[in-house]
């Protein structure tokens, strides 16, 4: 289950989303179950988009952690996330002789840097603009834990007149 958390300040105790100058800002809280996994957060992002009332614009997502990332990938076949996890384990092993980070999760930091902490998704007619098989995922690399993702939905302004 993913819940909507504090708006703007991820450490705040107020859980009401903020609407500011045509944008809607909030935080998703996403519990993970494994050290490494892909969590489909598309349904929660779509729910926030509906709640925002924005019909056209963008959704910015930003993971507030250094050991999980965000990605868009196939969500129709569960073998794809499994293959991605397996390939990432092969490319970036958990243990390497040269890792020096005392927490023992250097691989998680590397994987997060490869995926990146943020996404920008287009919105048209109140829906995310994604391909037929695409889904929005949190890529967990150091779980299980509860992750926070900041979300800002920004409405497109009216088309400006031609200045010439």
| pLDDT per residue rounded down to tens, the chain (164 residues) | 444 444 444 444 444 555 445 788 999 999 999 999 999 999 999 999 999 999 999 999 999 999 999 999 999 999 999 999 999 999 999 888 887 887 889 999 999 999 999 999 999 999 999 999 999 999 999 999 999 999 999 999 764 444 44
User: Would 81 be classed as within a structural domain?
Assistant: yes
Burial 124-162 (b: 16+ CB within 10 A, else e): eeeebeeeeebbbbbbbbbbeeebbbbbbbbbeeeeeee
Residue 161 lies in a domain: no
What residue numbers bound the domain in which 41 lies?
3-7+17-155
Whether residue 39 lies inside any domain: the answer is yes
Identify whether the C-beta of residue 77 lies closer than 8 Å to the C-beta of residue 159.
no
Is residue 160 domain-resident?
no
Our count of domains for the chain comes to 1
Question: What are the backbone angles phi and psi of residue 41, rounded to the nearest 5°?
Answer: -105, 5
d(Cα 73, Cα 70) in Å, to the nearest integer?
A: 10
């Amino acid at each position: 289950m993913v819940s909507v958390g504090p708006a703007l300040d991820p450490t705040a105790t107020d859980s009401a989303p903020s609407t500011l100058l045509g944008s809607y800002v909030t935080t998703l809280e996403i519990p993970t179950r494994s050290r490494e996994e892909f969590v489909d957060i598309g349904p929660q992002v779509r729910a926030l988009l509906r709640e925002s009332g924005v019909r056209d614009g963008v959704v910015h997502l930003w993971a507030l952690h250094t050991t999980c990332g965000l990605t868009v990938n196939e969500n129709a076949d569960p073998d794809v996330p499994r293959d991605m996890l397996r390939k990432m384990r092969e490319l970036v092993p958990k243990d390497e002789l040269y890792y020096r980070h005392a927490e023992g999760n250097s691989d998680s930091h590397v994987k997060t840097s490869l995926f990146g902490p943020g996404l920008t998704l287009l919105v048209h007619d109140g829906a995310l603009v994604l391909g037929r098989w695409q889904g929005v995922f949190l890529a967990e690399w150091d779980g299980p834990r509860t992750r926070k993702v900041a979300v800002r939905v920004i409405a497109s302004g009216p088309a400006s007149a031609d200045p010439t």
